[in-house]
Structure 1
Amino acid sequence: MMRWMMPAALLLLAACGGGQDGETGPEDSAAISPVQKAERAAPPEMPTAGVNAEAPAPDEDGARVDGDTHPPAIRGRWALSAADCTARKGADLTVLTIGATDLRFYESHGELVRVRESDANRIVADYRFSGEGEQWDRRMTLTLADGGKALVRRDMGEGAVAGAMRYTRCAG
């Protein structure tokens, strides 16, 4: 007899514990204001790193940093070796050319996919690269140094180059 009473008691407890569909809990009682109910129902706003909800901030030259492109001060032609700045096309093996939404290396090309952080002198972004018949994704940080004369590149993620690479701005 005892062994039948225990399962029956558990069933009775389970039946008594829940409410019916449509019943509300204490948070929907009259003691909670309509503002509190709205705050609980609305999902929190997610901040977007590096992207201003207001007008884009100008850099030193008055150009705008928009959060969707490389900052204007970072754009241009850079090289790991200053000699590559003056080398003929095809012999400029360490040159990095940064456009508004892309990066070009000697044998690869990266398209800007997502800006994670950005200001006038720095960007952290995700890129989709292609080159030599392959494709890969990479996150990079590009930061101006020495008053804009140098660019420091850091790659992140699987297959990334360890450490930082320092580029020199090429003239013209």
Structure 2
Amino acid sequence: MKPTSVLALAAMLALAACSNETPAPVPSEDAATFAPPPPAASEPAAPTATPTAAPSGPVAAAAFPAAMLGRWGLVPADCTSQRGDNKGMITVSAREIRFYESVARIDKVKDSSENRMRATLAYDGEGMQWSRDAQFEVKSGAGQLVLQEYGDDAVPGPRTYTRCK
């Protein structure tokens, strides 16, 4: 093999190692000349996504219904305590619920009406973060808010809160 062929072969192999393209075939020892490989054909462009129409019908708002807003207590003392021991009180605002030592923010609304909402909530409290599927329902005549959580580590059974006055 000629010294110039060896140098050309070494240069081609060095370039091929840095390239994403498939290396060109190595010329045989008795090849008198080295022809550069033909340029790679450009790949066809990936098809672009066709925009889809927005979903029709009402989309549930990512906010708690107005009937749920306010302060609620598990027991009457939760609403009246001045000592900070009202561990069963919750405060519901448009986008979050404040518990005694945690805050739950709406992550994804699954279903919502004037008196009922099912959503995935993102919790943050005591240095931890978790997510929970929950349903809230207001019993208007009784002034109650019923909370039911779902999942392996959820509090079992519904919790019934009474609106604080």
Using structure 1 for the length normalisation, give the TM-score.
Answer: 0.61
Aligned equivalents of 2:73, 2:150: Cα separation in 1:
20
Aligned equivalents of 2:142, 2:109: Cα separation in 1:
20
Pair 1:158-2:152 in alignment: yes
- 2:117 equivalent in structure 1: 123
The structure in which a higher percent of residues are helix is 1
- 1:96 equivalent in structure 2: 90
* Percent identity of paired positions between Structure 1 and Structure 2: 36
- Report the CA distance shift for 1:128/1:88 in structure 2 as closer, same or farther (over 3 A): same
Pair 1:133-2:139 in alignment: no
Give the aligned residue type for 1:158. Answer: D
Give the aligned residue type for 2:65. Answer: P
Counterparts of 1:43-82 in structure 2 under 5 Å?
Answer: 52=58, 67-82=61-76
Larger radius of gyration, structure 1 or 2? 2
- Report the CA distance shift for 1:69/1:146 in structure 2 as closer, same or farther (over 3 A): closer
Aligned equivalents of 1:104, 1:161: Cα separation in 2:
17
Aligned equivalents of 1:143, 1:134: Cα separation in 2:
27
Q: Aligned pairs, how many? A: 116
- Report the CA distance shift for 1:76/1:148 in structure 2 as closer, same or farther (over 3 A): farther
The ranges of structure 1 where at least 4 consecutive aligned residues each deviate by more than 2 angstroms after the TM superposition are: 44-48
- 2:99 equivalent in structure 1: 105
Shift of 1:46: 9.6
Using structure 2 for the length normalisation, give the TM-score.
Answer: 0.63
Return 5+ residue gaps in structure 2 as ranges.
Answer: 1-49
Return 5+ residue gaps in structure 1 as ranges.
Answer: 1-41, 54-65
